[in-house]
Amino acid sequence: MGMIKFKSPALPLPRELYDRQYFDQFIRVLTLYFNQLDSTTPLQNDYYIGGGWLLTIPHISASDSTDQVAGGNNTPTVVKWNTLDSGFGWTLAAPGTATAQYDGVYKITYSLQFINTANAVHYATVWIKVNNNDVADSATIFTVPARKSASPGEEGYLAAYSEATFSMNDGDEVELYWATDQAGDPTVPTNGVYIFHDNAQTTPYVRPAIPSAIGSITFVSALS
């Protein structure tokens, strides 16, 4: 629901001489206007007292339901997003490009489900690109633990969470990139690090699916 805008009424033009009909019409117009103010002012007040629950601000939330493999060792690779969970003021294009429709300062928050199938600790680094240019100071390095044994389910897991704030203009494109020193691939298979997903399960207990990537971008402020 958008914010209701107040607009002053078009008042009837005055007559040269006193006219009771004119004054009746004038008062009726003002009465209708003030009745509108009385009925909507509490609603307007909710924008400030109610925590802004009636406001719609630019945002996007997305996830991915596939395993994501790096292009090779130490090779920057875009994070994929195949599901738009919610959004306003943003568009999402495959494999992982989000385009802003409003200028502003934004905050990105993400969680990537890394898995390591190798017997040694390996590392993954994640950072932001805007219009294919690296965003300064946006990189985070994660240590992905080694697998415990060769048995299934003994791989090393890490939910890599981070956030960063950056500026965008209307039409700018933002992408999340990652790289690892040892790229794994479950289809070959090749031991190493990749971004893991898993379907919903019913045994040994019921749980929802595990997305390989979950992320959101929210509006922080207008550009200064």
Mark whether 43 and 83 lie in a shared domain.
no
| 140 has pLDDT over 90 | yes
| 35 has pLDDT over 80 | no
Q: Is the pTM higher than 0.85?
A: no
Q: Which of 55, 74, 99 is the last residue of a domain?
A: 55
* Number of domains, the chain: 2
| 2 has pLDDT over 50 | no
- As a whole-number percent, the residues of the chain with pLDDT over 70 amount to 87
Q: What angle do CA 183, 210, 82 make, to 5 degrees?
A: 75
Mark whether 103 and 208 lie in a shared domain.
yes
Average pLDDT of span 55-79: 96
Mark whether 145 and 157 lie in a shared domain.
yes
Phi, psi dihedral angles at 12 (to 5 degrees): -65, 145
Range of the domain at 140: 59-221
| 91 has pLDDT over 90 | yes
Q: Look-up: residue for tokens 């990652």?
A: 178
Higher pLDDT: 94 or 25? It is 94
Q: What is the CA radius of gyration of the chain?
A: 27
Mark whether 158 and 84 lie in a shared domain.
yes
Cα 64 vs. chain centroid, distance in angstroms?
A: 13
Beta strands in 89-154 (DSSP E): 90-93, 97-100, 104-116, 122-130, 133-134, 140-144
| 52 has pLDDT over 90 | no
Average pLDDT of span 151-176: 94
Q: What angle do CA 174, 87, 175 make, to 5 degrees?
A: 15
Q: How confident is the model at residue 13 (pLDDT cuts 50, 70, 90)?
A: confident
Determine the Cα–Cα distance for residues 210 and 111; give it in Å rounded to an integer: 11
- 110 to 62, 117, 128, 160, 198: CA distances (angstroms): 10, 22, 11, 8, 18
Mark whether 93 and 194 lie in a shared domain.
yes
Mark whether 26 and 100 lie in a shared domain.
no
Mark whether 42 and 115 lie in a shared domain.
no
Mark whether 101 and 14 lie in a shared domain.
no
Average pLDDT of span 74-101: 97
Mark whether 176 and 127 lie in a shared domain.
yes
Residue-wise pLDDT for 187-217, tens only, equals 999 999 999 999 999 999 999 999 999 999 9
Output the pLDDT for position 5. Answer: 58
Output the pLDDT for position 41. Answer: 57
Mark whether 40 and 91 lie in a shared domain.
no
Mark whether 20 and 95 lie in a shared domain.
no
Q: Is 95 helix (H, G, I), strand (E, B) or coil?
A: coil
Mark whether 131 and 93 lie in a shared domain.
yes
The CATH number of the domain holding residue 205 is 2.60.120.40
Pairing of strands 77-78, 173-180: antiparallel
Q: Tell me how crowded residue 85 is: count the other CB atoms within 10 A of its CB.
A: 14
